[in-house]
Amino acid sequence: MKQLKRDKEKEEFELQAEYDFSKAIRGRFFRPKKVTTTIRIDNDILLFFKKLATEKKSAYQTLMNEALREYLKEAEKRCA
**CATH for 41:** 1.10.1220
Q: Assess if residue 19 is contained within a domain.
A: no
Cβ atoms within 10 Å, residue 49: 19
- Residues with Cβ < 8 Å from 62, sequence gap 6 or more? 53
pTM of the model: 0.60
Tally of domains in the chain: 1
The answer to whether 52 touches 60, Cβ cutoff 8 Å, is yes
Residue 53 in domain: yes
Domain membership flag for residue 23: no
**Is pLDDT of 70 > 60?**
yes
| pLDDT value at residue 11 | 66
Domain around 40:
32-80
Residues 22-66 pLDDT 10s? 888 888 888 888 899 999 999 999 999 999 999 999 999 999 999
Q: Which pLDDT score is estimated for 9?
A: 60
8 A C-beta contact, residue 53 and residue 59: yes
d(CA 76, CA 33): 21
Which pLDDT score, from 0 to 100, does residue 10 have? 59
User: Alpha-carbon distance 22 to 80, whole Å?
Assistant: 25
Residue 14 maps to a domain = no
